Amino acid sequence: MSSKYGVMFVGLCGHLSTTAMAGAMAVAKKLCPPIGMISETEKFKAMPFADLSGFVFGGWDIRSCSDSRKALKDIGFDDIDQLIEISKNLEAIQSRTFPGIMLNAGEAISNISQQAHVFKTDRISTAIDKVRDDIENFKLENGLEKVVVINLASTEPLMANPEDLSSCASIQRLIAANRIDGIRPSLVYAQAAITSGCGYINFTPSEGGFSQGLVELAKEYRVPVMGSDGKTGETLVKSALAPMFAMRNLEVLSWEGYNILGNMDGKILQNAENGSTKIKSKDRLLPHILGYQPHSRVSIDYVPSLGDRKTAWDFIHFQGFLNTKMTLQFTWQGCDSALAAPLVLDLARFGILAMERGESGVMSHMASFFKSPFGIDEHSLEKQFRLLEEYCQKVSH
Amino acid sequence: MSSKYGVMFVGLCGHLSTTAMAGAMAVAKKLCPPIGMISETEKFKAMPFADLSGFVFGGWDIRSCSDSRKALKDIGFDDIDQLIEISKNLEAIQSRTFPGIMLNAGEAISNISQQAHVFKTDRISTAIDKVRDDIENFKLENGLEKVVVINLASTEPLMANPEDLSSCASIQRLIAANRIDGIRPSLVYAQAAITSGCGYINFTPSEGGFSQGLVELAKEYRVPVMGSDGKTGETLVKSALAPMFAMRNLEVLSWEGYNILGNMDGKILQNAENGSTKIKSKDRLLPHILGYQPHSRVSIDYVPSLGDRKTAWDFIHFQGFLNTKMTLQFTWQGCDSALAAPLVLDLARFGILAMERGESGVMSHMASFFKSPFGIDEHSLEKQFRLLEEYCQKVSH
Amino acid sequence: MSSKYGVMFVGLCGHLSTTAMAGAMAVAKKLCPPIGMISETEKFKAMPFADLSGFVFGGWDIRSCSDSRKALKDIGFDDIDQLIEISKNLEAIQSRTFPGIMLNAGEAISNISQQAHVFKTDRISTAIDKVRDDIENFKLENGLEKVVVINLASTEPLMANPEDLSSCASIQRLIAANRIDGIRPSLVYAQAAITSGCGYINFTPSEGGFSQGLVELAKEYRVPVMGSDGKTGETLVKSALAPMFAMRNLEVLSWEGYNILGNMDGKILQNAENGSTKIKSKDRLLPHILGYQPHSRVSIDYVPSLGDRKTAWDFIHFQGFLNTKMTLQFTWQGCDSALAAPLVLDLARFGILAMERGESGVMSHMASFFKSPFGIDEHSLEKQFRLLEEYCQKVSH
Amino acid sequence: MSSKYGVMFVGLCGHLSTTAMAGAMAVAKKLCPPIGMISETEKFKAMPFADLSGFVFGGWDIRSCSDSRKALKDIGFDDIDQLIEISKNLEAIQSRTFPGIMLNAGEAISNISQQAHVFKTDRISTAIDKVRDDIENFKLENGLEKVVVINLASTEPLMANPEDLSSCASIQRLIAANRIDGIRPSLVYAQAAITSGCGYINFTPSEGGFSQGLVELAKEYRVPVMGSDGKTGETLVKSALAPMFAMRNLEVLSWEGYNILGNMDGKILQNAENGSTKIKSKDRLLPHILGYQPHSRVSIDYVPSLGDRKTAWDFIHFQGFLNTKMTLQFTWQGCDSALAAPLVLDLARFGILAMERGESGVMSHMASFFKSPFGIDEHSLEKQFRLLEEYCQKVSH
């Protein structure tokens, strides 16, 4: 496919968005190899994916952009001339950022927002209409037919009443009653994207961004939805390692995970409310894979000096034959944005493909991309990946 | 199945053999749960496996037995009364150990052998006949019809001319010409076991114990063979983790593995000749799983204070999006015998089952048990395990 | 010295107390070498320390004793005959345990106490008198002249008004006014011990057990006092490593420490109130050693499967020449009681020695034993140890 | 002091030399803080050290210079304008590099040398005269009175007959007899530097660069000498940690150290001959600090992908009270040049100071800088540092 497609990010000015856009440009120009992108592997070469060069980026944010040149340097991109050109492109895109939605975003996110970049309203329906208008304008300006919206924003606090989102109708009632404390900004974006006929991808664990109600809505509007919470680091390793213990009938006694990171994500997650959302998402897979719940803890601490370099230490205490106790420890030292950005581009491609093929509702074959795959209880990385392979075989034959 | 089956170990007096036998008794008596045994999991409960209580143990060794009570204590088994009873059973079994074969065993193994426990001969055919007689006598004494022979002995040095073992006929020529420097003790045991109608399982990496020629022989004699080299520790973790890098298109730049251990296995492997055999076996999987050969090293060092507690540190340097370099390290602290013993019992059960079902030749569905699975190029743990599941589904339906 | 000395523990039935007493007996009988005891090293052999065989043990607890045989096995002591004899001795000692004090001990400690083992009173002065009587009776029964009291009990919650303990008089006023919410059980034991003419050692971080007021009191009663908080694991390593960064002018950006443990100590510390006391004590040394406060966190989590095997992971992020960022990580896997018990015996000996020499007040040369050495600001292990060496040189010449 | 001083490096074109010179310029211009330099700390501010801005750099190499701009980027120096200016300065210095000496340098070093940069001779005395001429010319050209020569070259192979270097006279005999196989290039540089009246610092473990004979010579020529082998990484941590085990009477059973690195140093050290020299130097301290020799191994492997980022994993197995076995592991991830360069500048300053003060012979107060401090058996980092503090107190009062 060589047409143009819109890719709109919630969180357009953040590090991840900047890395994803810069990476798409760099890969399209063959300045660096597409390492980390699954859609570029030999295995999937027969798939009719959209060209990266045809991606038209845009989106929303609640704060102004940081210096994109600095952001690029942080991720180790150091060809100076190309850097300057890509920076200019990014600045052009980010200068047209739409103001973001802040309805019931919680304290931590409010603290980092900037007045001038927040769309002011106290009505949910007004906020939804505004996002729908933004999408429409973006399409018109850029001559686009299809757009996917991807939520890359900071993790929102857990919602008090998640059951309210279990159907289209219940969400509709919340909106009609303007029950601001029952929704989050993520719900506004998702509702607006889907009802605008866009594919929607929830890369965050924010519960507003994914629910049974939204899946119903997606079926009604015949668009694909995917989520939740990109699986990029510690949880990725867990989903590869935990099946080993199950396959060998080794009993996991305790699995303790300590995550330290220093970027904006870490800063928001140090707020207990927001951190809980993330931890709930990270801690979901063990009982599914093992068949029982071992003692388990996931903690996330903010360590500013680390910047985007996330470090996780996991300690696994397990019991084997004759009750012998043994341990496995791992230390994962990853660059958060460099791990997440290629997944974002892959997801955009799979989202566009699904739209082109007229697929709608939850795309459960995308489970390997998410910490909390919606609509499926499979958490083993390899089994999740098999679902993707089966889908791709079906598509390419 | 509730009949009696013979299980003969090459290396009957070693730590692993002692642990496997003690464990079989303890599990059969319900003194401890069958953690670590795959054949005892819910998933395979429909399989017609032999009862552990029907296992009759015997075998060969080149040295006398160590104090089994001490060995049991080392592995954390501490019910004193039961310990005494199990020890007595073990002592009774080990007191009937057949003398071992030492033809071209190499220097390191010679150093730990004891004159009184070595069968003296300078003819290969005499050695084979002797092992066949031992098996026959063991069957008669114990009223057994079926026996599996499992090689648990120390790793032998690499052979100079492995090509000589590529067919039944070529092995036969080596034996006829009494080419002692072209064979190893492992070949003697395998040849004798197969031609005696026993299933044969090569739990060691010793190349004499597995070859295309032996597979041919096994087909001719209609017995199952399995091998090589039990996958218990560092390589197990590698086979669970390496597919993650492949599935995410992350490029492994270097994978360095350092293994330290203090048992007899470690002592033998510190000899460069013997160590090479093991390292070759451990270092095989990366190119298969990744599709390319990263910089890679596996080293094994003898650290006496560790005893049976093996520790491995693996350092994985990888590259992601925009060429960002990242690392994953793991430290595996396992008890070698406690990890290997349940696999040995599982293998015995699968071997007996195959004999009962009249299966012959290489059992490639057993790949998940081995570092160097014979006759199949699959090294991903999860894909190997799927082969086992498919086999078991076929058997139980 | 070969006379008899009393050594009374607050927490007589706990794991640490059991290990210290069993160890003293085992070392005195030469069943195992005195590894871990500083007082047994070549360097201090000229010191007139009391014989371990002359120690007469006793003390207080708020719960009954656990099975001492099991406790001994947990710490790897496995000579069965000796085990039985030592167990009998321990049982005899622990069967005469005095009921413990529970005035304002906080919720976590209350939860583990047992009615029958708690001395009931609602007056501080009554509790103090009771402890003094216990000491007097213990001396009479055993024909002792000198006794040291060592607090090995669980960590108490932080006190709301620590300034109240800054002088003898202020403590006296709290007692007179029966201000129960201004004291902790540790204060009762310390006050009683000192006014009974005993040396007092605060091996816990509990603030009631050490204060300027108690030091004044110790001078008045002419007895030695030492504390606080035995330095046995992660903090020990920190006090050895942190000076390296200072000596090399490397800037520590962040020092994150994660501690997991599964014994009673861990269970109590998972209570936020009690954990804060410990964390405050553990986190004290960095600014002292480095001269500035890096980003720093100490967390302690309860992981029951670990039992007495404590594991700590420390991640140190530092900056060097040309602002290059680098890291050092360590994983400490220690057995808590085996690390602490020899220090307890060493402290008892140094305490007895000080009493024999008529030394009184805070023994600042003992700083290397404590996480929060009282009356001195030196936290570098090597510099603290030099103070000990200088003291010993003075004593032995 | 504000005069000019010559600082000549053996290995002028290597990564370390480049980093040291760039760092001196950057610190002198206050572009970055002097982190990592001891001579810049508050503690030593009263010392009359030479200004970095007065350093005039020069030296020798056997190969041309690599792109200094690239080298600077590798170490994280990224102010583009300053980078360009400093690069120009470095290029000017390195373009005047004197050809290096290759007499009996061994195979690994020969492989990296370039014909055009090697001084051709087959006589030792001719090589020495040449280096002396280079020093003289360097002084004249730059109007210098005092020069220190610092050996930063690759590690040479162990010498067969180290005893030959035990006196001035024996070295003189080797030179007179032109016994090329009895010397190494490091000896040529040292002999030439000392007899030219320069201070000489052996930052490498190469044995030719330090010996009793050279110390004698230094006394005769009244110049200071320091060495050997800069203590920058794993050994630095060992010298901080090992005293902890000694001070606590914990018995180290095994101390295994695995070093992986990817720079030129690593490439040379993967040659067994050269690696042995380094390992011998790194493995020296444990028996000195502990008082006994535990099982110990130091291995160094070349992992190209790491570049200058060295990683070391150390595993320490130790025994405590009641024979309990415990472990400490650490992973050190350092940037080799960024750790070594500030030491090189500190050493230059201390060398110049010693020359100004007329000190001659081995400077044993510099022990903390070296893995194999010459003329002193102290290996504890803190005790070594105390020697430095005492020296500095003497100088500044």
Closest chain D CA to residue A77: D73
Higher pLDDT, C277 or C94: C94
Is the interface score ipTM higher than 0.85? yes
């007469």: which residue's tokens?
Answer: C56
Residues of D in contact with C320 (CB under 8 A): 35-36, 334-335, 338-339, 342
Q: How far apart are CA D370 and CA B42, in angstroms?
A: 60
A42 in contact with chain D, both atoms CB, cutoff 8 A: no
Average of per-residue pLDDT across C61-73: 77
B275-304: per-residue pLDDT in tens?
787 787 777 899 999 999 999 999 999 999
Ramachandran angles phi, psi of B177, nearest 5°: -80, 0
SS3 for D341?
helix
Closest chain B CA to residue C333: B333
A35-61: per-residue pLDDT in tens?
999 999 999 999 999 999 999 999 999
Closest CA to D323 of C369, B334, C75: C75
Q: How confident is the model at residue B1 (pLDDT cuts 50, 70, 90)?
A: very low
Per-residue model confidence (pLDDT) at position C193: 98
C330 in contact with chain A, both atoms CB, cutoff 8 A: no
Higher pLDDT, D261 or B72: D261
Q: How far apart are CA D284 and CA D378, in angstroms?
A: 11
Q: What percent of chain A has pLDDT over 70?
A: 95
Per-residue model confidence (pLDDT) at position C372: 92
A76 pLDDT more than 90: no
B78 in contact with chain C, both atoms CB, cutoff 8 A: yes
D306 pLDDT more than 60: yes
Smallest Cα distance from C147 to chain A, Å: 41
D36 pLDDT more than 60: yes
B160 in contact with chain C, both atoms CB, cutoff 8 A: no
Q: Which chains touch D (3 or more CB pairs under 8 A)?
A: A, B, C
B164 pLDDT more than 90: no
Q: How far apart are CA D271 and CA D157, in angstroms?
A: 9
Q: What percent of chain C has pLDDT over 70?
A: 95
Here the tokens at position C372 are 């929060």
Ramachandran angles phi, psi of B333, nearest 5°: -120, 95
Here the tokens at position D151 are 């050996």
Smallest Cα distance from A308 to chain C, Å: 13
Q: What percent of chain C has pLDDT over 90?
A: 74
Per-residue model confidence (pLDDT) at position D50: 96
B299 in contact with chain D, both atoms CB, cutoff 8 A: yes
pTM of the complete model beyond 0.90 = yes
- Cross-chain Cβ contact A78/D80 below 8 Å: no
B24 in contact with chain A, both atoms CB, cutoff 8 A: no
Q: How confident is the model at residue C78 (pLDDT cuts 50, 70, 90)?
A: low
Closest chain C CA to residue D23: C322
Average of per-residue pLDDT across A10-21: 93
Q: How far apart are CA A296 and CA D29, in angstroms?
A: 52
- Cross-chain Cβ contact D320/C36 below 8 Å: yes
Q: How confident is the model at residue B75 (pLDDT cuts 50, 70, 90)?
A: low
- Cross-chain Cβ contact B381/A325 below 8 Å: no
- Cross-chain Cβ contact C258/A258 below 8 Å: yes
Q: How confident is the model at residue A372 (pLDDT cuts 50, 70, 90)?
A: very high
D331 in contact with chain A, both atoms CB, cutoff 8 A: yes
C159 pLDDT more than 80: no
Smallest Cα distance from C345 to chain D, Å: 11
Q: Which chains touch B (3 or more CB pairs under 8 A)?
A: A, C, D
Smallest Cα distance from D98 to chain B, Å: 36
Query: How many whole angstroms from its chain centre is CA A89?
Result: 23
Q: How far apart are CA D22 and CA C324, in angstroms?
A: 14
Would strands D251-261 and D295-302 be described as parallel, antiparallel, or unpaired? parallel
- Cross-chain Cβ contact A247/B368 below 8 Å: yes
Per-residue model confidence (pLDDT) at position A272: 77
- Cross-chain Cβ contact C306/A254 below 8 Å: yes
C244 in contact with chain D, both atoms CB, cutoff 8 A: yes
Homologous superfamily of A234-334 in CATH? Dihydrodipicolinate Reductase; domain 2 (3.30.360.10)
Strand-pair partners of B315: B256, B329
Per-residue model confidence (pLDDT) at position D186: 95
Q: How confident is the model at residue A71 (pLDDT cuts 50, 70, 90)?
A: low
Q: How far apart are CA B143 and CA B54, in angstroms?
A: 12
The beta-carbon neighbor of A338 closest among B77, B324, B333 is B324
Per-residue model confidence (pLDDT) at position D74: 63
A74 pLDDT more than 90: no
C71 pLDDT more than 70: no
Higher pLDDT, D15 or D355: D355
Per-residue model confidence (pLDDT) at position A84: 82
A229-272: per-residue pLDDT in tens?
999 989 999 999 999 999 999 999 999 999 999 988 888 888 87
Where does CATH 3.30.360.10 sit in chain A? 234-334
Here the tokens at position B383 are 């894909």
Per-residue model confidence (pLDDT) at position A1: 46
Average of per-residue pLDDT across C87-91: 91
- Cross-chain Cβ contact B254/D315 below 8 Å: no
B71 pLDDT more than 80: no
- Cross-chain Cβ contact B73/C78 below 8 Å: yes
C175-200: per-residue pLDDT in tens?
999 999 889 999 999 999 999 999 99
Residues of D in contact with C318 (CB under 8 A): none
SS3 for A90?
helix
Q: Which chains touch C (3 or more CB pairs under 8 A)?
A: A, B, D
Strand-pair partners of C330: C314, D330
- Cross-chain Cβ contact C73/B73 below 8 Å: no
Residues of D in contact with C241 (CB under 8 A): 237, 240-241
C306 pLDDT more than 60: yes
> What CATH architecture is B234-335?
2-Layer Sandwich (3.30)
Where does CATH 3.40.50.720 sit in chain D? 5-230+338-396
The beta-carbon neighbor of C77 closest among D237, D322, D328 is D322
The beta-carbon neighbor of A381 closest among B26, B38, B244 is B244
Per-residue model confidence (pLDDT) at position D71: 67
C313 in contact with chain D, both atoms CB, cutoff 8 A: no
Average of per-residue pLDDT across D369-392: 93
- Cross-chain Cβ contact B243/A321 below 8 Å: no
D142 pLDDT more than 60: yes
Smallest Cα distance from A260 to chain C, Å: 9
Smallest Cα distance from D316 to chain B, Å: 11
Q: How far apart are CA A21 and CA A1, in angstroms?
A: 19
A311 pLDDT more than 60: yes
B372-393: per-residue pLDDT in tens?
999 898 999 999 999 999 999 9
Strand-pair partners of C331: C313, D329
Here the tokens at position B233 are 């520790």
Residues of B in contact with C73 (CB under 8 A): 78
The CATH number that domain D5-230+338-396 falls under is 3.40.50.720
Q: How far apart are CA D283 and CA D298, in angstroms?
A: 7
A103-152: per-residue pLDDT in tens?
988 888 888 888 889 999 999 999 999 999 999 999 999 999 999 999 99
B170-224: per-residue pLDDT in tens?
999 999 999 998 899 999 999 999 999 999 999 999 988 889 999 999 999 999 9
Q: How confident is the model at residue C1 (pLDDT cuts 50, 70, 90)?
A: very low
Residues of D in contact with C247 (CB under 8 A): 38, 368, 381-382, 385
C305 in contact with chain A, both atoms CB, cutoff 8 A: yes
β-sheet with D224-227: strand ranges across: D98-99, D55-61, D5-10, D147-151, D199-202, D224-227, D361-362
C108 pLDDT more than 90: no
Average pLDDT across chain B, whole number: 91
Residues of C in contact with B306 (CB under 8 A): none
Q: How far apart are CA B281 and CA B373, in angstroms?
A: 10
D2 pLDDT more than 60: no
Per-residue model confidence (pLDDT) at position C216: 95
Would strands C55-61 and C5-10 be described as parallel, antiparallel, or unpaired? parallel
The answer to which of B64-78, B128-142, B267-281 has the lowest mean pLDDT is B64-78
B116 in contact with chain C, both atoms CB, cutoff 8 A: no
CA A167 vs CA A176, A195, A210, A217: distances in Å: 14, 15, 11, 8
Here the tokens at position C69 are 């045989």
Q: How confident is the model at residue A343 (pLDDT cuts 50, 70, 90)?
A: very high
Average pLDDT across chain D, whole number: 91
The answer to which of B149-163, D58-72, D270-284 has the lowest mean pLDDT is D270-284
Interface of C with D in 175-234 (CB under 8 A): none
Per-residue model confidence (pLDDT) at position A43: 92
Interface of A with B in 355-374 (CB under 8 A): 368
Residues of B in contact with C80 (CB under 8 A): 80
| HEC letters along chain B | CCCCEEEEEECCCCHHHHHHHHHHHHHHCCCCCCCCCHHHCHHHCCCCCCCHHHEEEEEEECCCCCCHHHHHHHCCCCCHHHHHHHHHHHHHHHCCCEEECCCCCCHHHHHHCCHHHECCCCCHHHHHHHHHHHHHHHHHHHCCCCEEEEECCCCCCCCCCHHHHCCHHHHHHHHHCCCHHHCCHHHHHHHHHHHCCCEEEECCCCHHHCCHHHHHHHHHCCCEEEECCECCCHHHHHHHHHHHHHHCCCEEEEEEEEEEECCHHHHHHCCHHHHHHHHHHHCCHHHHHHCCCCEEEEEEEECHHHCCEEEEEEEEEEECHHHCEEEEEEEEEEEHHHHHHHHHHHHHHHHHHHHHCCCCEECHHHHHHECCCCCCCCCCHHHHHHHHHHHHHHHHC
B248 in contact with chain A, both atoms CB, cutoff 8 A: yes
